[in-house]
Amino acid sequence: MKQREIMLCKYGEIVLKGANRKYFEDMLCREIKKRARAYGDFDIYRSQSTIYAEPKNEDADFDGLILSAQKVFGIAAISRAAVCEKNIDDIKRLAAEYVPSFLEGKKSFKVEGKRSDKAFPLDSMALAREIGGAILEAYPRIKVDVHNPDVTVRVEIREFGAYVSAGSIKGAGGMPVSTNGKGLLLLSGGIDSPVAGYMMAKRGVKIEAVHFESFPYTSERARDKVLKLASILGEYAGEVKVHVVSLTHIQEELVKSCQEDYFTLLLRRYMMTLAERIALERGCSALITGESLGQVASQTMQALGVTDNAVNMPVFRPCIGMDKEEIVTVSRKMGAFETSILPFEDCCTVFTPKHPKTKPELEKVLAEEQKLNFNALCDEAFETRYTVTVEPTY
Ligand code: ATP
Ligand code: MG
């Protein structure tokens, strides 16, 4: 017979929350319930800093849910556990059958017992000893090491029964999405901005995105790539609304009237201004970009100052102190890298100046900006916006 298994999710940082803790727990539980629906019928419940998911029947895709749970921010660790009655003989039998497959190729283990139900006759120490003995008998190749074991087996007596787990998988960490406000991500097709979105979502921020395109200089395929990136981000962050705005006219006007070495900076000020308008319309309290200090000319300290000067809203740049390699590591981890490196043009890469200003002075940028009717161009671009709702695919 197939062993009855449940999934246990331990919270991370939420445990530190005082009065608000219940709110965070509810949000996390809701997220897991939402995901579980895609994998079949599960009972989801919460008890003692743990969320449990128990398949209701054989059709439920338990492994699928375990994989999906690894993308839920707010969970520190996930383990699968086998369940039985609260009876020491049953628990020993279960441990002897269930644990050995987790010990393959490992040298040492230890057992941690926990008796949450104090009516159970054995205390935690005695429980651990009994179960350790049963495992050694079933799998004599392994040694006990209480200080630095390869595998930690946990046996816990809870109100609903006993369970045995062996090892755990690291969770995504952070805080449940939507517990920390809503931010508007400036999403390009590059490597950095999806990572920035991922990092802010990990801090509990609900993400909406704005993408700037420049038809016919940018293509439909470039936009589809951005929507694909939004969908990858959505595996963690849930639904992502992507607001698409055309910069074609602004860019053409910039090329006609402004000094070439200021193009990128001026364009970035338009982008930030338009992003702020969308953020206000959508109830987002901050802008998020993938900028990293010194990575390109428009990301020097002076250039970022000029960019920030265009808006009043806080601008979060979670990649600011990371080098490219570190950003790529996160990009791979979130599964975006292969898509990010597809070679499609971005509106920032059309009309790029040969010698962009790296130490711009705000006054000179503003003087350059005044050659055009900034507000009128923004109004016109703002009217081109349309929204694509990218549903989560978990
Ligand atoms: P990325 O890898 O995220 O494209 P990048 O290093 O190529 O970043 P830039 O092209 O200078 O840097 O863009 C800096 C930031 O501006 C991006 O991280 C992103 O947040 C935003 N951005 C750039 N292009 C666009 C765009 N077409 N639509 C929306 N936001 C954009
Ligand atoms: Mg880019």
Q: Provide the CATH number for the domain around residue 37.
A: 3.30.2130.30
- 3-class DSSP string for the chain: CCCCEEEEEEECHHHHCCCCHHHHHHHHHHHHHHHHHHHCCEEEEEECCEEEEEECCCCCCHHHHHHHHCCCCCEEEEEEEEEECCCHHHHHHHHHHHCHHHHCCCCEEEEEEEECCCCCCCCHHHHHHHHHHHHHHHCCCCEECCCCCCEEEEEEEECCEEEEEECCEECCCCECCCCCCEEEEECCCCCHHHHHHHHHHHECCEEEEEEEECCCCCCHHHHHHHHHHHHHHHHHHCCEEEEEEECHHHHHHHHHHCCHHHHHHHHHHHHHHHHHHHHHHHCCCEEECCCCCCCCHHHCHHHHHHHHCCCCCCEECCCCCCCHHHHHHHHHHHCCHHHHCCCCCCHHHCCCCCCCCCCCCHHHHHHHHCCCCHHHHHHHHHCCCEEEEECCCC
**288 and 244, same domain (yes or no):** yes
Give nearest CA residue, ligand 1 atom 16. 289
User: Could you identify the atom of ligand 1 that is nearest to the CA of residue 296?
Assistant: 11
What pLDDT is attached to residue 198?
Answer: 98
- Could you list the residue range(s) of the whole structural domain that residue 356 is in? 182-390
Which residue's alpha carbon is at the smallest distance from atom 8 of ligand 1? 192
* Model pLDDT, residue 210: 98
Q: What is the pLDDT of residue 339?
A: 97
| pLDDT for the residue numbered 192 | 97
Position 1 scores a pLDDT of 46
Q: What ligand 1 atom has the least distance to the C-alpha of 213?
A: 27
Same domain, yes or no: 118 and 216: no
For the Cβ of 191 lying below 6 angstroms from any atom of ligand 1, the answer is: yes
Q: How confident is residue 354, by pLDDT bands cut at 50, 70 and 90?
A: confident
- Do 230 and 376 fall into the same domain? yes
Cis status of the peptide bond prior to 55, with omega within 30 of 0? no
More confident residue, 297 or 104: 104
Q: Is ligand 1 within 6 A of the CB of residue 212?
A: yes
Closest ligand by atom to 211 CA:
1
Say yes or no: CB of residue 318 within 6 Å of ligand 1: no
Are 143 and 93 in a shared domain? yes
Q: Is the pLDDT of residue 15 over 80?
A: no
Given a contact cutoff of 8 angstroms between Cβ atoms, the answer to whether 95 and 135 are in contact is yes
pLDDT of 130 over the 70 cut: yes
Are residues 187 and 93 part of one domain? no
206 in the same domain as 122: no
Predicted confidence (pLDDT) per residue in 141-156, tens digit: 999 999 999 999 999 9
Q: How confident is the model at residue 12 (pLDDT cuts 50, 70, 90)?
A: confident
| pLDDT tops 90 at residue 3 | no
Cβ of 174 below 6 Å from ligand 1: no
Q: Give the number of whichever ligand sits closest to the CA of residue 188.
A: 1
- The count of structural domains within the chain is 2
User: Residue 348: CB within 6 Å of ligand 1?
Assistant: yes
Mean pLDDT of the chain: 94
Q: Average pLDDT in the 1-26 region?
A: 82
| Range 25-53 average pLDDT | 92
Distances (CA, A) of 327 to 171, 209, 362: 20, 19, 29
- Specify the residue with its C-alpha closest to ligand 1, atom 12: 291
Look at residue 314 and tell me whether its pLDDT is greater than 80: yes
Angle, helices 362-369 vs 301-308, to 10°: value is: 50
**In this structure, are 153 and 222 located in the same domain?**
no
Q: Per the domain annotation, does 175 fall within a domain?
A: no
| 211 Cβ closer than 6 Å to some ligand 1 atom | yes
Ligand 1 site, residue 222, Cβ cutoff 6 A: no
Question: Residues 161, 256: one domain?
Answer: no
18 and 114 share a domain? yes
The mean per-residue pLDDT over the stretch 39-51 comes to 90
Protein residue closest via CA to atom 1 of ligand 1: 190
- Looking at residue 45, its amino acid is Y
Task: Tell me if 35 is assigned to some domain.
Answer: yes
**Domain end position, chosen among 109, 135, 170:** 170
Question: Would residue 177 count as lying in a domain?
Answer: no
The answer to whether 33 and 44 have CB atoms below 8 angstroms apart is yes
| pLDDT in the model for residue 213 | 96
190 and 164 within one domain: no
Give the pLDDT confidence of 263-272 residue by residue, as tens digits. 999 999 999 9
Q: What is the pLDDT of residue 345?
A: 78
Q: How far apart are the CA of 262 and the centre of ligand 2, in A? A: 17
Q: Whose CA is nearest to atom 11 of ligand 1?
A: 298
Residue 123 lies in a domain: yes
pLDDT in tens, 218-249: 999 999 999 999 999 999 999 999 999 999 99
Give the position of tokens 């599960």: 42
231 within a domain of the structure (yes/no): yes
Q: What is the structure's pLDDT at 389?
A: 98
